[in-house]
Amino acid sequence: MDRNVGPEDRVVRIVVGIGLAVLAYLDVLHGVGTIVLAVLAAYLIISGLLSRCIIYKLIGVDTGVQEQPYSTTDDRAGL
């Protein structure tokens, strides 16, 4: 599977994942809520570290594609 998570998205995923992991560790939501938080935190952290998201792949989103900056090589070539 190709990488489809951009650098900004990776940072957000990892930070939110760590925050959810802390909430799960502190047992803010008891029982099933803690398990859901832990699974969601693990998914966000893993997808952020690997730069691959299954959900993005299913819906056709790719935040890894960045616009290319303006190139000044044409100006130097006299074109």
Whether 2 is covered by a domain: the verdict is: no
Whether 39 is covered by a domain: the verdict is: yes
The residues, any chain, with a CB within 8 Å of residue 9's CB and separated by 6 or more, are 48, 63
| % the chain with pLDDT above 90 | 56
pLDDT digits (tens, 9 = 90+) for 17-52: 999 999 999 999 889 999 999 999 999 999 999 999
The residues, any chain, with a CB within 8 Å of residue 62's CB and separated by 6 or more, are 4, 56
Task: Report the number of distinct structural domains present in the chain.
Answer: 1
- The overall average pLDDT reported for the chain is 86
| CA 59 – CA 61 distance, rounded (Å) | 6
Q: Which range marks the domain in which residue 40 is found? A: 7-60
Answer whether residue 79 shows pLDDT above 60: no
What are the helix (H) ranges across 1-79? 7-25, 32-50, 54-59, 73-77
